[in-house]
Every structure is written in C-alpha cells, then in structure tokens.
A = this chain, B = another copy of it.
C-alpha cells in the first residue's frame, strides 16, 4: 500500500458512523477505500456524514511515525492474523512497541479491577508461566488483574489493548507500566491518536483483547464485570473461554463461577491453560509447546531440569514419598505432583517399595501401602 492508499484507508476508517463491519462491506462493494470515499456523499445525501479529511488522516500517520509507532491496516502482512477472522476486525490498528508480538500465539488474561491480592498473585504467575511457554499475554491495562497480567509477562511479551488513542494512558497510575510495555511489549488501539477513552470504547476494546487470543481466561469477576463481556466475545469468536474458580461467598467469584456453571473450562494455573489451548494447535506446534512447558517445569516431567533434584538420595526420596502413601490407593501422578519430584525418581522408589513388599500396585497407575 502506498502512502495515498494508506491515507484513504485511514480516512474511511475514521469517518463518522463507518464502523468496522461497514468498513469491510464498503471495501468489498466498491473495491477500494478511495472508491468508497467517492461514493459516500452520494450514499448519505439524505443524512450527510462528516468524512475524515486527508489532512487529519495524514497528521495522524505522521504523529504515529514521529513516536516510532506503526499503523497496521487490516489485510497487511503485519496485521494480526487472529483478528482477520473477525467480521468486525478493526480496519486499522495503531501500535507502539513490537509488532511481531501480534503474530504470536496469545492468551488473554482479564478480570476484576478490584482484584484480591491472591488473585493478582495467581495471575502474575500465570502470565509469567505462559510467557515462559512461549505464549504472549494480552490484557487491557486496567487496574487489578490486567496490571498483574502485564507485569507478569513483561519479560516474555505482553500486549496491552487500550480503549482510547494508543498514546492515551488510562488509568494514570499505570504510566510506568505503559512505558515498560512500549519498550518490551506492544500497546495497541483501534482509536485515533490522542482520543480519550469513553465508556462505549471499552466493550469494543474487549473484542480485540479476546480476538487476538486463542483463549481468554477470566480471573475474579463480579456478575456485572466487563470481563464477562470479553468472555462472551471470546465465545462468539469461537475462542476458548476459561475461568479461575473462586469461593462462592466472595462476590468477585460470582462472575467466574457463573461462567463455570455455564460450562467454560476451569483452569487453576498456566499448565491448565496450556493443556486447553494445546488441543487447538497443530501436532507440530503442540510438540513444541509441550517441550517448552516441560523446560519451565509446568508439568511433572519438566522438573527434571531442576538441578536441585539431583541431590536427593534414595533415602531422601523414600522419606519424601512414604508419608504420601496410605492403605487407600493413591495415583502415582499425584505423588509426583505433591512431592514435586521427578516422575522417574518416584517410579524408581516405588519399585523398591514394591519389591520390599511395602506397597502394592493397583490398576489405574495407583499404589497403596500393604496392610500390617
């Protein structure tokens, strides 16, 4: 696209009453933004609309350039592939930061602004662990859950979708975080440079949060939370919807538990999220993801990378595993998980115990202590 085409594209996108769906229809019907701009005055002669002028569009592009931003046009090579699937894909996206992050597999983490300390802790770790597994974390730069999601994934790649212009920091307390994301992640918006976020921008923004992502995880949400809108949009977009459960007496669990009652996937940590989204990936990608998660220790066998485990002697293993056993059968996988040991070490020790007649093997990879 040359500069003239870009300006026309942006003019049509910024024209009053031309929303994303209308934009794509006009484009499909008239072949190009220029042709659509030509016909618009005729189409709207009964109720004239204000068409964005060339100077305004040019100024927006120049300002974005000046601040090292990029404008992505729907259909561009750099435009997020995940968004192209949406009927209401944003015609343009302004980006500050690393546009390559927008092509990587992403998961959205969203939730309450007044999240509990525990929830912020959980989401920070979930974001960090997803990042280590090669997943980009998408959120909305809001207080609470969004903030922790971005903070946890700053080192690995995080995308903040903002409701106003890409340069408008909201809430102000996230100014530092905003700049950090601009450096190592990406801030994106479909709104014009400098636009203040209005109430109606937030649900529209939420469709981009979910639309960029293969799945959306809701962590703490009241029944009237905007996060539930994001969850609904994710479902409508055919993406995975996941929720972290909470105790029913906490009002911040009402939204997430209601989602779970409706059948969304219950997730407790990054491993659960990866298990869910990996069922979406092609086999080759899946293998890659699994080995990633193994390396960062998100599943049992991944702990083999931890050098600390090498210092466990056979006696130590015995004393760690024995208290977990009882005459009630227990799954070997559970012992591995509870003891945080290597699967091979647990199996080896259990074999010794079995040979000594201490335990008995049962179907379903379970063991129990032999009575007496």
Q: Residues of A with Cβ closer than 8 Å to B? A: 116, 118-119, 121-122, 199-200, 203, 223-224, 226, 229, 244-250, 253, 257, 260-261, 266, 268-269, 272, 324, 326-330, 334, 337-338, 357, 360-363, 370-372
- Contact assessment for A360 and B245 in the assembled complex, using a CB-CB cutoff below 8 Å: no
* Other 16 A-B pairs with CB < 8 A, given A116-B247, A199-B327, A245-B266: A118-B247, A118-B249, A119-B247, A223-B337, A223-B338, A245-B257, A246-B246, A247-B250, A247-B253, A261-B268, A266-B266, A327-B360, A328-B362, A357-B371, A360-B371, A372-B372
Expressed in whole angstroms, the minimum distance between the Cβ of A278 and any Cβ of chain B is 15
Tell whether, in the assembled complex, residue A203 and residue B245 are in contact, meaning their CB atoms are under 8 Å apart.
no
A223-B338, A260-B266 given as contacts; is B328 within 8 A of A249 (CB)? Answer: no
**Do the beta carbons of B361 and A121 come within 8 Å of each other?**
no
What residues of B have a CB within 8 angstroms of the CB of A372 in the complex? 370, 372
Other-chain residue from B268, B338, B361 in contact with A248 (beta carbon distance below 8 A)? B268
Nearest first, the 3 closest Cβ-Cβ pairs linking A and B are A245-B245, A248-B268, A246-B247
A226-B244 Cα distance, complex, nearest whole Å: 24
Q: How far is the CB of A258 from chain B (nearest CB, A)?
A: 9
Q: In angstroms, how far is the closest chain B Cβ from the Cβ of A140?
A: 15
Q: How far is the CA of A260 from the CA of B357 in the complex (A)?
A: 35
In the complex, chain B residues whose CB is within 8 Å of the CB of A223: 334, 337-338
Cα distance A199–B245 in the bound complex, in angstroms:
33
Instruction: Report the separation of the CA atoms of residues A246 and B260 in the bound assembly, to the nearest whole angstrom.
Output: 12
* A121 touching B200 in the complex, CB below 8 Å, given contacts A327-B360, A362-B328: no
**Interchain Cβ contacts under 8 Å between A and B, 6 examples:** A118-B249, A223-B334, A223-B338, A245-B253, A260-B260, A357-B371
Contacts A229-B328, A272-B261 given: A122-B248 contact, CB under 8 Å?
Answer: yes
A256 to B, closest residue via Cβ? B245
Complex Cα spacing A372 to B358, Å: 12
Q: Give complex CA distance A248, B261 in Å.
A: 17
Q: Which residues of B contact A248 (CB under 8 A)?
A: 122, 244-245, 268-269
Q: What B residues does A122 contact at CB under 8 A?
A: 247-249
Distance, CA A245 to CA B269, complexed state (A): 15
Closest to A203 in B: B328
Q: A361 CA to B327 CA in the complex, in Å?
A: 8
By the criterion CB–CB under 8 Å, are A247 and B247 in contact? yes
Given contacts A229-B328, A360-B327, A371-B360, A257 and B249 within 8 Å (CB-CB): no
Residues of the B chain whose Cβ atoms lie less than 8 Å from the Cβ of A200: 327
A224, A250, A328, A362: most-surrounded residue (chain B CB, <10 A): A328
- A329–B364 CA distance with the chains assembled, in angstroms: 11
